[in-house]
Amino acid sequence: MTSAALLAAPASQAMPVQQGRPGCVNTLYVVEFFGSGGTGSVRTVDTTTNLPFGKRIKIGKTPGSIVIDPSGSVAYVTNNGGGISVINLMTRTVTATIADDAIPTNIAMDGSGSTVYVANASPNGPDLTIIDTATNTATSQDLEVPGAYGVAVTADGQGVYVSAFSQSDTNVYFYSTTDWSEPAAVIPTGSRNKELALSPDGSQLWVAGNSADQVHVIDTATNDLLTSITVGNKPERITFTPDGQSAWVTNIGTTNATPNISIIDVESLVVSNTISGGPLPFDVAFTPDGATAYVANSLGKKGSASPVGTVTVIDVATGAKTKTIKGFVLPDNLAVCNPRVV
């Protein structure tokens, strides 16, 4: 999130609310970043009606990244103010808060849902927190990754990628989960790197090269850099469509550059379209059928007493906006529940 968002205060609820069911099927989870002075929350939206439902699920301070287990019953959310919130999606309650002495930024889960990995940006704390989801206990590995930011885990759980968001380090590191003593591969990108995303088939790792306005594509079989694709200004997050045919990249921009979303064709590795997405797009999530995209737009301003934000609904086939859901408080990260058998 931006430093402006850190200073913002919560706003009152101002959206129509559909009352009723608990998660998880046909549910979009929206993480609201309230700022350092307030408690964050998770809101739920029914993807069949695009209406919010239920009360906010209160979590820790300045939350960011969310991941949902394969069964669709539990979510883990990082709180930049410290700790990881564990949410029972059926009861909509926080069942545990896992301590983390560092500054957790992004989170990933292995394909079986048995292990969660949390990247920590703090240079004074462990760079990677590892959570056993059966017991919700955490261990840590002190990786030499300055400003560890993005994290991605291979589907078989045998490898973890961690990106460095640092002036002095422009690498992505690959670690074997059976040997943390040193990285199995170091992949230079030439830029300060933010989020990571594995392609649905696991053959490529895509890296948001924030300082270079590029997306770096890495071959996971060799851990070689294949190419770098120029996108918009300050790419933040990358989300693949469920069919793996395209990737949507949120470009948060600066005061001199317009925020937008770059849509990349995965086969040709070229930008096929650029859409506005919303006023300040931070994250994208898709319905399981790939027909609808949701974009979190964070609109907080420094000193604002009533920070607001929206979620834009986009028809993927046409790229057209079909609805704007209002009333969120600095929406930062999204996840659509897609329970599956593991």
Sheet holding 137-141, edge to edge: 104-109, 115-120, 128-132, 137-141
Instruction: Supply the pLDDT for residue 137.
Output: 95
Q: How far apart are CA 211 and CA 16, in angstroms?
A: 39
Region of residue 165 (phi > 0: left; psi between -120 and 50: alpha; otherwise: beta)? beta
Q: How far apart are CA 230 and CA 127, in angstroms?
A: 29
Q: Are 225 and 218 in contact (CB under 8 A)?
A: yes
Q: pLDDT tens digits for 67-90? A: 999 999 999 999 987 789 999 999
Residue 1's pLDDT band (cuts 50, 70, 90): very low
Q: pLDDT tens digits for 257-266? A: 788 999 999 9
Three-class secondary structure of residue 211 per DSSP:
helix
Q: pLDDT over 70 for what percent of the chain?
A: 87
Residue 62's pLDDT band (cuts 50, 70, 90): confident
Q: Are 283 and 250 in contact (CB under 8 A)?
A: yes
Q: Are 89 and 24 in contact (CB under 8 A)?
A: yes
Is residue 56 pLDDT above 50, yes or no? yes
Q: Give phi and psi for 90, each to the nearest 5.
A: -80, -40
Instruction: Supply the pLDDT for residue 280.
Output: 85
Q: Which among 156, 150, 147, 198 is positioned nearest to 176, based on CA atoms?
A: 156
Distant-in-sequence contacts of 206-210, Cβ < 8 A, 24+ apart: 206/238, 206/240, 206/247, 207/150, 207/163, 207/172, 207/238, 208/150, 208/235, 208/236, 208/237, 208/238, 208/249, 209/235, 210/165, 210/234, 210/235, 210/236
**What is the CB-side half-sphere exposure of residue 241 using CA atoms within 13 A?**
21
Handedness of CA 321, 214, 4, 127 (dihedral sign): positive
Q: pLDDT tens digits for 329-338? A: 889 899 999 8
Instruction: Supply the pLDDT for residue 80.
Output: 84
Instruction: Supply the pLDDT for residue 24.
Output: 87
Q: pLDDT tens digits for 130-146? A: 999 999 999 989 888 88
> Going by CATH, does the domain composed of 3-336 fall within 2.130.10.10?
yes
Helix spans in the chain (H):
3-6
What residue has token string 């422009």?
170
- The pTM (predicted TM-score) of the whole model is 0.90
Instruction: Supply the pLDDT for residue 34.
Output: 75
Instruction: Supply the pLDDT for residue 39.
Output: 82
Q: How far apart are CA 42 and CA 88, in angstroms?
A: 12
User: Would you list the domain boundaries of the chain?
Assistant: 3-336
Q: pLDDT tens digits for 106-128? A: 999 999 999 999 999 876 666 89
Please state, rounded to an integer, the average pLDDT across all residues of the chain.
87
Cβ-based neighbours of 299, under 8 Å, separated by 6 or more: 279, 280, 307, 308, 309, 310, 330
Q: Which among 269, 271, 206 is positioned nearest to 240, based on CA atoms?
A: 206
Instruction: Supply the pLDDT for residue 307.
Output: 62
Is residue 22 pLDDT above 80, yes or no? no
Residue 10's pLDDT band (cuts 50, 70, 90): very low
Is residue 3 pLDDT above 50, yes or no? no
Is residue 11 pLDDT above 70, yes or no? no
Residue 23's pLDDT band (cuts 50, 70, 90): low
Please tell me the least confidently modeled range out of 9-23, 204-218, 239-253: 9-23
